[in-house]
Structure 1
């Protein structure tokens, strides 16, 4: 880490202690509960895609899977870098607002930021307009990890970048085979399978098609 990064960490955590108690409580809550917002968006994307094309449904299914892959990549990188948490390593830093994770729960990169970055990109691939919502949420999630004192700024920046890259690659690589699988499974007569995959796009009756021409 650089001296500037450590200084920035101190500046942010010092500032955190000057904020009102409701801001501190909100940051502690958001830094964990914010992940549930992405889960809800994944669920909404899946439900909406049940009546969409096989490609759209495949992308909605791949979005949370790609995020899970990004998380695994983050965990692997953590075990290689083994960077100590700043709430223990930075001398004279303000006490972290969140409980400092135990030794062995390494700092680089931030898992939360990785999940947030992956979720933001994956959901934007499901529906482009969602980027206006998911990008600010991801940035807020990343900032909250430094604000509550459990990560350096470079941890969350690396996490956002790693998550975004892995999600983009994973969805792109998996789109074609998942689309074929979706198309094949939608012909199943099993009620459970049809409920999960949905009926697909509604067919337009021939007379309506002719009327539109």
Structure 2
């Protein structure tokens, strides 16, 4: 168990424990009873699992080389969509200023070190990035989209399991990630004419010849 540190009363911001603090405590209680190997696996996934989405984007790019230009345009836009969702999420975090559960609920079990004061909890950055990536990839390649969606669900769940977020932090982030990503992914398809032109130039070998 990694000890959490309560936040001084005079520095408290928004307290989200009244929403689902009980569920958070139950989940982290399960984490405390889990085998050590599972704790380590979940911690590693929570910390480094975002790299999987980068690999999925590379896979989507490889497959899009033989697809039409609208698909390639959406694949190329997917990292930018994740950045856009992350920025929107960061603004919302700074507006709400919800205290991390590991500081609001002293004595609760946490797998991951408690974030420093001022690193707010709502919504979850990891989760919004994961779900925005999954939504963007869904509109580019359904097969990869399904894999990304499963990875996003596991990422969101892991953030509660390790004690970093309340469940509502994760649910709100998932919704926000999808709401930001879907219109941007659809809009990205309109860049197909640009991809068509780029495919006939020096970037042709990178972007592929497109569907026959």
The TM-score, its normalising length taken from structure 1, stands at: 0.87
* 1:97 is the counterpart of 2:111: yes
Whole-angstrom distance in 2 between the partners of 1:168 and 1:15: 34
- Residue of structure 2 equivalent to 1:181: 194
Q: Which runs of 5+ in 2 are unaligned?
A: 1-15
* 1:169 is the counterpart of 2:183: yes
- Residue of structure 1 equivalent to 2:131: 117
Q: Deviations over 1:162-205 (max 9, x none)?
A: 111111011112221x21210122222x2xx2233222234xxx
The TM-score, its normalising length taken from structure 2, stands at: 0.88
- Residue of structure 2 equivalent to 1:205: none
Q: Deviations over 1:128-155 (max 9, x none)?
A: 2334322221111001001000101000
* 1:38 is the counterpart of 2:53: yes
CA-based RMSD of the aligned residues comes to 1.4
Paired residues, number: 197
Q: Which runs of 5+ in 1 are unaligned?
A: 203-213
4+ long deviations beyond 3 Å: none
Whole-angstrom distance in 2 between the partners of 1:50 and 1:84: 45
Q: Deviations over 1:95-137 (max 9, x none)?
A: x110111111111000011011111111111112334322221
Structure with the greater relative contact order (CA < 8 A, sep ≥ 6): 1 or 2? 2
- Residue of structure 2 equivalent to 1:209: none
Whole-angstrom distance in 1 between the partners of 2:69 and 2:19: 49
Shift of 1:2: 5.5
Higher Cα Rg, which structure: 1
SS at 2:49 equivalent:
helix
* 1:20 is the counterpart of 2:39: no
Shift of 1:4: 5.0
